[in-house]
Each structure stands twice: as C-alpha cells, then as structure tokens.
Chain A
C-alpha cells in the first residue's frame, strides 16, 4: 500500500512542479539555516574535556585591599604569584598547575626561516597529565625541572613540523629569545575549545606552540601575554612576584566531590590565615568553579551566535508555516478526488496515510536538501574571520539532530493539512460538482 501511496504522491507532486519546488526549498532553507547556527552554537558551548572537566576546578581568592570593596562582589579571575606558589606547594589537590600565557621569539637554526613569534604557555609539570595532553615524542617536564628552572621546552606538533619537519626532535636545541632550550617533548594534535584554561588569550584561541616551565620563563624574563589586574601601589614589571597584581591562572584536579568540598574549605582557611598575617584585608571570598562553571561565568559563547540561532529558528518557523499553508491549500483543492476515494470505500485512516506520505516526501526531500545547505553554511562560516570559525564542523550528534529536525518538521508540516483534508464528507464532495 505504501508504494502505491508513494506513487500517488509523486504523481501529485509532479503535477505542480513549481509549487513542489517552493515547498521543498522553503523547508530546506529553514532546516539548513537552523542546522548551521545550531551546529556553531553546539560546537562553541561544548565541553573541552569530556569526562574530565567535572574534576577540574579553578580556585579564586580575593587578595585585594579594602579600596573599592563591596560585600558579595566577585573575586579576581586570576591569582597573584605569591598565592599561586603557596597553593601549588601546598599540594592539597590531586594535581595542580600554575600558568600564564606569553609569546617568545623563536630563532630557527636553519637560516631559511626568519625568526618569528610563537604563542607560549609558562606552566608547571602537572599541566600535561591534568589536561590529558597527548605526547607524540618524548615526555613533559617533571616537578624537579620546575624547581630547578630547567631550560627545557615542549613544543606543539605544528611547530615541530615547521622547525624539524615532523621528525622526533627530543634532545634538539631550540633557541628562543637568545637562550638555548632543550626540546624534551612534542605534543600530538591538541586543541582545547573553548581555550578554557586561559580565556585572556581569546575564548577560542588556538593552543600554544611552546611550553616552558613557569620558573624558567620568570628567570629569563620571557614576555607575557594576558591580563594583569593590580591594586595598591600597582604593577612593577621588574618584580611581578611581589607586586600586588593578579596575573596567573591556577587549576586543580579534584577526583571526588568530597575532595572538592574539602579543597574549598582549605581555600577559606588559607584566606583567613593570610588575613591574620595581614596580607589579605578583605573577608574570605572564595570560589571553586569547575570547567563548565567557569565557562558559564565568563559567558564564552558569543552573544551573536545565540542571536543567530534564534533568528534561524524564527526563519524555520516561517518556512514551516508557509509549507503547511501551501500543502493545506493543495490538499483541500483535491477534496473532490479524496471524496471519490472515500465514497469508493477508503477509510479516513487510509486517506490520511496517503496524504501523509505526500507531505512526508516533501519533508524528507527538504530535510536532505537542508542538510546539504547546512554543510554549505558551515563551509561559509569557516571562511569567516572569527577565531572560532575553524571549529564549525558537523559532528554525529548534530547530524542526528538534523535528521530529527527534518523528520519533525515534515510531520508538523504534513499532519495538519492531511488531517484537515481527510475530514471531507464524501457525499457532499460528490454532490457539489
């Protein structure tokens, strides 16, 4: 019976080619626009480290003086060198890493490549195991390297391809800012999006090319990138370790919620202790968001992307209303034909099925065309200059969503007209003509 209905539907649709094309196009445009914007939204609001992010926390303290104090205000988004080092050495978490972003002049040994600036991360040993950073060659540095300010560097796969043509470069020398560093590790492909561990370098920034121990970077006075917030006597570029400024990010790994609660308690005690010592002046103001909490707090997903998703949903709605209206008009026009079928013994159910198959064909074709349009739309998004543009790819969950959206839109667009049209009274339709 289904193939018969399908045959009827195709006949009916080919009778009004322009109209069929219009209905299919409207659904395709609506679904294409929706899928494109929802995919971008999905990619941008995704979890950078699925399975791990719930165990990673970002401790926040308030070390500022009483100037500008307002009860209930937010603590700073970064930590001072003193607090960062204290918390790092307290080792109260399962893992902990202190870090900041920077940029280093890289001086390739080959004269063919001009010296260039590379984004760098100055951090401590736990950074790599804590964020599940994959290593292609060699290893990351150890806590002992941190202590000894070792002149070692870990580089990204991309930089390794550029400087060492993708060969295992561990043990090689890399000159940066007129200092020789020993390459001890090469990362495999790794990009965190959003760039959650340091949002100062851009919410969807690419990961860094060079990783150097934080203490080494400080000793060598390597240039920093990022935000510095000061109070009191303000910034002192030569003595950032004692300046009343927050400029470092501190991340901890806490494997169970109980440990997280205990760590928060520890932060409160630490704040009280520092206040007793006279370093802190404000009452303890402690936060401990996890990765997703931190991203929410910073509202990383651009407002424009949300707006685009709303716009596309509105567009889809108009397209659906359009298609429903056209399909309804079309079905009602065929009332007499349907009346004949009813009079010849077809049940209301069978007529309904026949019409539903017809609208289903339109919806499905529109859905498939919409998927193609979404692929085209995403390709256009990737051509955009935004830093998240390159991330806009369709993944499996979004592909399934497209499919569901297409089927749902089909049913919505088909049910009402089919139901309305199969309400015809056979006798009346036969009589009227």
Chain B
C-alpha cells in the first residue's frame, strides 16, 4: 500500500487529522489508566482475610444500664448460643474483621527503643482463633488456663504483666523478623514483654486506616471479654445454616436478657461486601467512563470518516475510473485510519505514562505495568478499524461513473 498519497491528503486536512490523533491519544491515555485503576480495585476487593468468611455471622448486643455480673452474663450468653443446632464455635470478641472499629497499639522489639517499631491491632476473646477459623501455621493456640479476664487486667497493673503470650500473623512475623521464624520471639507493649506462641496464616485488621500494606498486622491475646467490655458475638456455622443460626442466636440473646439492644446481625460476607462498597462503586464508575470514551471515540471516527468519504467522492470516482479496484479504495481508508491511530496511540502512551506518574504521586498507585501499552494499542487499532469500516465500504461502493459527473 502506498502511504505517500495518504500523507499528502492528510496534509491538506491538517487540523482535522490532528484532532482525530488528539482524541485517540486522550482516549488511549485515560482508558489505560482507568483500566489499571479498575484492576487495582478488583485486586483490593479480593484481599485475603485469613478467616472462614463464608461460615461466620456476627451479632452486636448491648445491655442497657449496668449489668450486675457481666462475666456470668457473658458466659450464659455463650452457653445459650453454643446450644443452637448447627453452631460449631462461639466467641465474644472485642473486634471483628471489616467492621472499621479497632483496638490498636504500638509495639517495640526492645524496651529501651525510643520510637515504636510499628502499630498493630489487638484481638481479644476466648476461643477466637477457632471461631474465626484462622489457620495456625506454627506453634499452638492458647490453652484454656492461659486466659485472663479483661475486666481484671484493666484494673490491676500487676495482672496485666501476666499476659505474656500472644499469637501473631505470618505477615507481622515477617515484618518484625524478616527471614526468621517468629515463634518464641518477644515483643514489648509499653515495656511489658510477650512471647509469640503461635503464628496464623492471616487475620486481617478490622480497619485499614494505616494503609493496605499493614492489613495483616494483627495480634491475638489470651484475654476473656465480658458483656460490659465487648458486644460482638461471633458464631461459626455451615454456610447454608447462616440465616437460620443468625435468627436463632438473636432469639437466644433476647431470651437470656430482654433488657438489651441488638444493634447489628449480619453474615461476615455481608460485612465484607459493605467494607469494599466504595471500591466496587468506583470500579463500576471507571468501567462506565471507559465504555463511554471508547464509544464516543469510535463514533467520532465513523462521523469523520463519513465526511471525508463524502468530500472525496469525485476523487474516488476518478481513481476507480483510472483502474483502482474496490479493494484498493477500501484499503486506502483503512490505512489512513491506521496511520492516524498509530500516531494517536504513540502520543497516548506517553500521555498515559504521564497520568500514571501523576497518580503515583497523589494516590499512591503503583507503576502502570508494561503490558498495558501493547494491549491498549491493539484495542484502539481494532476500534479504529471497526469504526472506519462502514465509511470505507461506502467509499469502495462509489461507482467510477461519478468521475464524469460534476457535483
């Protein structure tokens, strides 16, 4: 295919050609980045939690006024919940993944350290590991005799020093002691040491206020909660039993104490879906914009192609009369579009890279992976070719006799 005549024609339509190139470039740049953003959001929504998500339900129950014996009260609640058919494990815990409400503390590896090493979240609650379904990958779970009452510990500083074991996540262990086993190592909380007795594959923080990189920085302590200092009852059951168990658990809690308010009753799947709702909405919005952009650009090429074909009817007729086949007319317009698209894509790639740099600076986004560039290029080439096909076919259909007519 001869490119020179195409170029000389385009030179006579400089501004229009430039606008097409610009439109393709902008679309290419925006769509590349938008698709990248979508993939980031989708990845985030798949975030590993480390708990048996499809088997858990949570009920938040608060007593009104002061409870006489909060410890006995909580034990009675747990007993009633455990008796519900289908319930595998029950725990009263201080916090639950994806609920955005969390207890956090800074930890040190050396009591003399002036700056804390990092900030991690604290999970408390008897039978928490088994109920959540967190996978122990090293060490052991707490023994029944190891648990202390949160209420006592909060009041008595000497007792607080007796909390000297904890379970951490694999990620936190690798962060604190890279390349080593965390088992048996010691961390310090405000001067008090605690030894790692178990490591779980994962246990996500309830709230990601410190950024997604610290999502797995969680610690579990052998502390027993009561109905005064904790309100979150977590039950583990088979996925198909969740709704029934939830209803039965609410009834059981109300029966145990009618003088209470049930604030929330949800499956962990629902809680997780709510946690990521903004990401889902943003991904949907970005997808919508991408489609709209591609459609607008495609239609723009169709419109422009139609104009050019109409404008060049006579020239096409002359070419046909001089012996050009339909195929060569068709290819002429396709090549023209390919040329414009290529310039646009080249510009668009540079622009996409620039936008990505801006986003990296302001939104802590990673670099755009290199494979986005060829994929984006092919997509826009295809759209250009599909869009120009209609006008090009119309051009090819121009009969040679047009050359002999005056317009």
Chain A positions within 8 Å of B, measured between CB atoms, are 19, 22, 26, 29, 33, 66-70, 105, 107, 114-117, 177-179, 221, 223, 232-238, 302-304, 307-308, 311-312, 314-315, 317-319, 321-322, 324-326, 328-330, 332-333, 384-386, 416, 420, 433
- A19 to B304 CA separation, bound complex (whole angstroms): 9
Complex Cα distance A37/B161, Å? 53
User: In the complex, given contacts A26-B300, A107-B64, A325-B300, what are 16 additional A-B residue pairs having Cβ atoms less than 8 angstroms apart?
Assistant: A19-B303, A22-B300, A26-B296, A29-B292, A68-B116, A70-B115, A233-B190, A236-B154, A238-B154, A303-B362, A315-B30, A322-B297, A325-B20, A328-B19, A332-B16, A385-B274
Q: Report chain A residues within 8 Å CB of B15.
A: 328, 416, 420
Nearest Cβ on chain B to A267's Cβ, whole angstroms:
26
Q: Are the CB atoms of B303 and A326 closer together than 8 Å?
A: yes
Q: Which residues of A contact B157 (CB under 8 A)?
A: 233
Residue from the list A68, A321, A416 in contact with B26, Cβ < 8 A: A321
Q: How far is the CB of B23 from chain A (nearest CB, A)?
A: 5
Complex: chain A residue closest to B190, CB-CB: A234
Q: Give the shortest distance, in Å, between A307 (CB) and chain B (any CB).
A: 7
C-alpha gap A70/B115 in the complex (Å): 9
Taking CB atoms and an 8 Å cut-off, the chain B residues in 362-407 that contact chain A are 362-363, 406-407
Nearest residue, chain B, Cβ from A202: B100
Question: In which size bucket is the chain B interface?
Answer: 35 or more
Q: Is B152's beta carbon under 8 Å from chain A?
A: no
A237 and B311 contacting across the interface, CB-CB below 8 Å: no
Q: Given known contacts A19-B303, A68-B116, A70-B115, is B296 in contact with A308 (CB within 8 Å)?
A: no
Q: CA A366 – CA B289 in complex, angstroms?
A: 18
**B307–A322 touching, CB < 8 Å:** no
Indicate if B334 sits at the interface (CB-CB under 8 A).
Answer: no
Residues of A near B64 (CB, < 8 A) are 105, 107, 115, 177-178
Residues in A whose Cβ lies below 8 Å from that of B274: 385
Complex Cα spacing A235 to B13, Å: 74
Q: A317 — which chain B residues lie within 8 A by C-beta?
A: 26
Chain B 270-283 near chain A by CB (<8 Å), digits 1 or 0: 00001001100110
- Complex Cα distance, B191 from A234, in Å, reads 11
**B20 contact set on A, CB distance < 8 A:** 325
A57 to B324 Cα, complex, angstroms? 79
Asked if A318 and B62 make an inter-chain contact with CB atoms under 8 angstroms apart, the answer reads: no
CB B11 to nearest CB in A, in angstroms, measures 14
**C-alpha spacing A326/B15, complex, angstroms:** 11
C-alpha gap A273/B229 in the complex (Å): 37
User: Please, which residues of chain B bring their CB within 8 A of the CB of A321?
Assistant: 19, 22-23, 26
**Contact present for B289 and A330 (CB under 8 Å):** no
Q: A29-B296, A177-B64 are in contact. Are A318 and B27 (CB under 8 A)?
A: yes
